[in-house]
């Protein structure tokens, strides 16, 4: 399954699924896997 959307944070993402389970995002601009914390620049 592939869903592409533009995010307001300067990236283009698609949702990554394995065995019909959402496992993360792939950033088409940076050409790498990412997660919501990296997208929002959240540091814990």
| Residue 39: predicted pLDDT | 75
Secondary structure class of 27 (helix, strand, coil): strand
Domain residue ranges of the chain, discontinuous segments joined by + = 4-40
Residue environment code for 16-44, b if the CB has 16+ CB neighbours within 10 A, otherwise e: beeeeeeeebbbeeeeeebeeebbeeeee
pLDDT, residue 33, reads 92
**Looking at residue 43, what is its pLDDT?**
52
Rounded mean pLDDT for each run of 10 residues along the chain, 44 residues in total: 59 86 87 83 58
Please state the pTM of the whole predicted model. Answer: 0.59
């Amino acid at each position: 399954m592939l869903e592409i959307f533009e995010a307001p944070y300067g990236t283009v993402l698609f949702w990554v699924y394995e065995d019909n389970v959402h496992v993360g995002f792939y950033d088409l601009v940076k050409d790498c896997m990412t997660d919501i914390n990296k997208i929002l620049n959240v540091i814990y």
